[in-house]
Amino acid sequence: MELTYSNQLSGFDPEKRYRNPEHFDKPEAGVTSVLVIGHWPSVVDAYESAGIDVSVKEAKQVQIVGAANQVELEKIIAALRAEHGSIQILVDGLEAGEIHRPKSGDLALHLFDVLSTIHASAGELTTERDDLVLTVDALREEIETLKKVSITSQADEAGEIAALKATLDEARVQYRANASKESLEKLVAELAKT
């Protein structure tokens, strides 16, 4: 089987098998010869080390619009590599749970600013959530205290009603079994007048 390693985007021969050399990691089994289009020394070395016939063909030069000369093109490529490196450092830090300001790269610096704003907002939301949890806990404690006070108050009132009924029973004054505390107090007050 013959393989052609090329990163071309068009112009494929349907009779040939192609692989993208950018994704190369090791020689494929069953290959009898390889054609490498462009400068891909890792592909050439790996197949030659495996004893497979390798041919290299110069890749077509692509004219990049906007690049006046090779020096300008190299500057653009260097700037793109630096930008990529800055973004990669930022991403690696984020994966480790940290955020560090990159030293260069307009896009990386802008991304850092946006992520810093998001990080700050998330911190504020976390603080607000924690404050709400504390407020809810305080309200629960207050409800429990009010329940205890209510139970104590009801017990005190029940004791007062029992004392009023005992006074009325002693004086042989009749009253309803479900009489309110106020009506019992009126009966006791009338009893004191007589």
In a domain, 8, yes or no: yes
pLDDT value for 79: 81
In a domain, 19, yes or no: yes
pLDDT value for 33: 95
- What is the number of domains present in the chain? 1
pLDDT value for 6: 92
**Phi, psi at 134, each rounded to 5°:** -65, -40
pLDDT value for 149: 84
pLDDT value for 63: 59
pLDDT value for 64: 56
pLDDT value for 7: 86
pLDDT value for 92: 83
In a domain, 49, yes or no: yes
Query: How many other CB atoms are found less than 10 A from the CB of residue 79?
Result: 13
In a domain, 149, yes or no: no
In a domain, 114, yes or no: no
The residue segments making up the domain with residue 47 are 2-57
pLDDT value for 102: 81
Contact predicate 85/106, CB 8 Å: no
In a domain, 21, yes or no: yes
In a domain, 12, yes or no: yes
Residues of the chain scoring pLDDT < 50? none
pLDDT value for 65: 59
Structure-block tokens of residue 110: 């802008």
In a domain, 45, yes or no: yes
pLDDT value for 156: 84
User: What is the rounded distance in angstroms from the CA atom of residue 194 to the CA atom of residue 188?
Assistant: 10
pLDDT value for 27: 94
**156-192 burial code (b ≥16 CB/10 A, e <16):** eeeeeeeebbeebeeeeeeeeeebeeeebeebbeeee
Structure-block tokens of residue 157: 């009132």
